Amino acid sequence: MHTADIKNWDKLPVADKLIYLRGFFRIGHIKHATRKELEDFLVLLAITPFTDNPKAMGETERYASVVQHLLQVRISEELHWRSFWVSIFAISISILALVVSAYEKYKSSDTHSLPPSIQQSPTTHTQ
């Protein structure tokens, strides 16, 4: 379940969104929330009105702690994959540079490997 599945999620009042958030936690779908959803949940928990009920405040703090941790994990995962693909790209460029360098070295050394007398005189075949 995702917030996209909930009709008019963006227009719901804070109290209704908190009920859905509790559902996400109780069902266990919070583990599969996207980065955007986690950001929204963290903002939602931050704007939750203060109450004198210690149980409600404790629940809000626990949820905020879990959502914050999950958000940090998602961001770390995204950064890991970005760096992975950048590394693959860098390795590809390095291999390409190595191949071009080796080809250029082979090409330039091929003409210099012959003795000077053969390089300067035209080749003639005599029988």
- Taking only the tens place, the pLDDT of each residue in 101-118 is 888 888 877 655 555 555
Q: What is the DSSP-derived secondary structure letter of residue 88?
A: H
Q: Is residue 94 predicted with pLDDT exceeding 80?
A: yes
Does position 123 have pLDDT exceeding 80, yes or no? no
How confident is the model at residue 68, as a pLDDT?
93
Angle at 109 between CA 104 and CA 110, to 5 degrees: 100
What letter would DSSP give residue 8? T
| pTM for the whole structure | 0.66
Biggest CA–CA distance in the chain, Å, is 111
Alpha-carbon distance 84 to 60, whole Å? 36
Number of other residues whose CB lies within 10 A of the CB of residue 63: 21
Number of H helices, E strands in the chain: 4, 0
Lowest mean pLDDT among 52-56, 76-80, 103-107, 116-120: 116-120
> How many Cα atoms sit within 13 Å of 34 on the Cβ side?
7
